[in-house]
Structure 1
C-alpha cells in the first residue's frame, strides 16, 4: 500500500482516479486502488481534444485521467483502447465540421473547432457525473439520463437533487402514528383500509393506475400499516418507475424531461419535490424569482394557503418539467405519512398514454377545486387545462409550448 494515500484523498479531496494516476506517476503499487506491477504503466484516457492526420495515420490529442492538460500527448490511433470515446469524438468532430462548412476529412483542425471539441468533452463528463449523482440519490427503479445536444451548458448551478421534500423554517410537520391493519388492502373491505378510514375510496386499480378524478385526495398506506411494500395502495411512495431523460430543448425553453419508455394513461410518473416553506417566505422569494423571470413556487393550497413548495434550489427531476397549455401530466394531492391537509404531496399522473421519446409537461395554471369533484354538481370540464387560481406563483412570461391551444403567456 502506498503511504498515506487515504489521508491524501481526504486532505486533497482527490478522486480514486486521481490517486491511481498519482500512484502510476510515482511508480507506487496499491492493492486498494488496483495499481499492480502488471498495470502500473497503464494510463486511462479521460477525453480526446484534437485530431490530425499524417499521410494515412491518424493522431489524437489525449487528456489523461488524473493528469493536467499540460501533460496531454498526441497518440496514434493504434495506441488507444477507448472505442466509445473515439466514436463520440468522431461524431462531435463531424458535427462541428458540418456546422463550420469545412471538409469532413481534414488533415488538421483549426483552433476554434479543437477548442469546441475540448469544451464538448468536458461538458459530457460534467453531465455524466451529474447523472450519476442523481441516480445515486434517488435510488428508484426508473433511471435518469442527461443529454445536451444544443449548447455547451453544463449541470444547473445552485441546485441540489433530493429524494424527499425538505421542510423549511416555520413549517409544522406531524407524521401519522397509526396505520391500517390490513393483510391485503385490495381484498379486504375499503372501510378498514387507509382511504376508508378517512372516508374515501381506493384511488388505484390493480395495475396501480389512478381511478379517481382530479381534485379527489389520494390516501396511501403509510409506514405504520401492516401491509408490506408490495401493497397496491402504495404507488407514489415507490418513486419513479420509468427511465427518464433530462434534455436541453432547442427552442429556448431550457431543460426539459422526456420519457424513454411508454407510459400508460393514469399511471404515476413522478412527484413534485422541493423545499416546503411558509407563504410569507414564498412571497419574499417570489419577488426575487420575478426579477429573474423564473418560478418554481407551487402553492400547497388543498385546504388553506399556508405553505408553498419551492423547487428552485432543492428538487428532483420534476424541477426540469416544462409547461404546456395541452399537457400530458395531471396533478393530484397525495397523503401518506403526513395527513395534515395543509401538506399534501404533489404527484403527477399521466393524463393519457405517453409514447417513448415524448416530452413530459404539465400546465402551470392547472388546479382543481379541492371539493370532492365526484360529489360536486359543478359543471367543470376536468380535461381542460388552465383553471383560474393557479397553484404556481405567476410571472408574466411568454409561453413557448407550441400547442394549438397555446394561451401565449404562462400566466
Structure 2
C-alpha cells in the first residue's frame, strides 16, 4: 500500500504560520518551515487584546500564535517587535476609550473597553485570513485587500470566491471560436483577426484600452490563435491588473470596492463572475431572493435572454461593487473561447480616469443611448442586462450613491 502512496500529496489545513507556531510549541526544528535553533524561542504575536500602564511603563496582553487564550501573557512594550500591530491597537484603544467616554490617558481599561478590543482583534484576524484566502484563489496580478473600520462584521458567510465562471446544468456554448494566424493582432491583423471573423473590428488600442463604443461586442484572441499570451488582443482574459480593496461602507451600503492604484480611462478593471444558469433556474432563484430582498442576477441578453449570471453564492470581487447613478465602470460583452452570442462574458471598463482610493461603481440601471448601426442586436435588451432586483422595484429602495445626478431611488 505504501508504494502507491509514495508520491501522494494532499493540501494541509494549517497555514505555514500555524505550523511554525506548532513546531516552536513542541520544540521541533524544521528547515522547510525556517524554524531553526536560533529562532526556536521566538514567539509570534497573534493579536493584542488589553492594555494597562504601571509606573509609566506600558503593558499589553498578548495572544500568542499557536497557544490558547488561557496562555495569554502581559508583556512590556520593549518585548514586542510588531510596530504595525501596535499602531493599529493604539487606534482601536483610542476608539474604545471614546466609546466608553473615558479619558484617553487611562492607565487601565474597564470590562466593556477590553471586550471591544478583543472583538476588534478577532475580527481583524478573521478578515486577514479571508484576505489571504482570496489571494490564494485569485489567478490574476492584482491583489485583494480587506478592510472594515465601520462595524464588527467579519467575512460574509455562504459565499465562495471563484476565479472563473461556474457553469451549471443546462448551459453549453454552441459554437467554438476560430483562431487567428496573426503575428501582430493589433497593428497587422489578418482579415481583421478574431474580431473580423465576426464582422467587427479590434476593440483595443496599443495600450490595451477599449476603443469601441459601449454596446459593441469585443472579440479577443483565444487558445486556438497563433499569438501568445502577450498579444494586445488579450485583455479581459489576463484578469484583474490592479490592487483592489473590499471595504465596509460607512453609509449603510454594505461592502464596497475601491482601487488602490490609479486606473486609466477605458482600461479593463474586472469581470462579473458567478454561476451561469438558465433563465428558468434564474426565475426560480429570483423568487427565493425576492423573499430575502436582494439578488445578484445579471442577464446575459446580448441577443436572447437565455442565460443569467448569479453571483449570490459564487463570485469574484465584482460581487461587492456598489451602484452609482454616476458610475466609473461601464459594461461590455466579451467573447473569447466561443462565439455563442447567448453567452458573453461581462467585463467592466473604466469610463474615466479613476484615482487611487476611489470607490468603483456601476449603474444597476445602465442604458446604451445612440447606438450605431453595428450594435442594433444589442439595442433592445442591453438596458435589461443590469442587476435584477424585483423586490427592490416594489419597495422603492432609496439610492445612497451620493452623486450630484442621483435618481434618489435604485428602481
What's the TM-score, normalizing by structure 2? 0.90
- Give the Cα separation in 2 of the matches to 1:170 and 1:360: 33
Once structures 1 and 2 are overlaid, which stretch shifts more, 98-107 or 108-117? Answer: 98-107
Cα deviation, 1:99-133, whole Å, max 9, x if unaligned, reads 33321111101111111111111111111121122
Cα deviation, 1:147-182, whole Å, max 9, x if unaligned, reads 111011111111111111110111113572630000
Listed as ranges, the matches of 1:7-406 within 5 Å are: 13-174=13-174, 176=176, 178-189=178-189, 191-368=191-368, 373-375=371-373, 389-394=384-389, 395-396=391-392, 397-406=397-406
Distance of aligned partners of 1:94 and 1:390 in 2 relative to their CA distance in 1, 3 Å threshold = same
- Give the Cα separation in 2 of the matches to 1:11 and 1:309: 30
Cα deviation, 1:352-383, whole Å, max 9, x if unaligned, reads 221221111101111448xx9322699x9x9x
Deviation at 1:190, TM superposition (A): 5.5
- Give the Cα separation in 2 of the matches to 1:229 and 1:216: 24
Distance of aligned partners of 1:74 and 1:336 in 2 relative to their CA distance in 1, 3 Å threshold = same
Task: Determine if contact 1:181/1:192 at 8 Å carries over to the other structure.
Answer: no
Distance of aligned partners of 1:184 and 1:277 in 2 relative to their CA distance in 1, 3 Å threshold = same
Cα deviation, 1:223-264, whole Å, max 9, x if unaligned, reads 110111111111111111111111100000000011112212
Q: Secondary structure at the match of 1:87?
A: helix
Q: Secondary structure at the match of 1:287?
A: helix
Task: Determine if contact 2:192/2:201 at 8 Å carries over to the other structure.
Answer: no
What's the TM-score, normalizing by structure 1? 0.90
- Give the Cα separation in 2 of the matches to 1:387 and 1:170: 23
Task: Determine if contact 2:180/2:190 at 8 Å carries over to the other structure.
Answer: no
Once structures 1 and 2 are overlaid, which stretch shifts more, 29-38 or 156-165? Answer: 29-38
Task: Determine if contact 1:365/1:387 at 8 Å carries over to the other structure.
Answer: no
- Give the Cα separation in 2 of the matches to 1:152 and 1:52: 24
- Give the Cα separation in 1 of the matches to 2:190 and 2:152: 54
Deviation at 1:266, TM superposition (A): 1.2
For structure 2, the residue ranges without an aligned partner over 5 or more in a row are: 1-9
Q: Secondary structure at the match of 1:102?
A: coil
For structure 1, the residue ranges without an aligned partner over 5 or more in a row are: 1-9
Deviation at 1:303, TM superposition (A): 0.6
Q: Secondary structure at the match of 1:135?
A: helix
RMSD of aligned residue pairs (Cα, Å): 2.5
Once structures 1 and 2 are overlaid, which stretch shifts more, 344-353 or 188-197? Answer: 188-197
Deviation at 1:143, TM superposition (A): 1.6
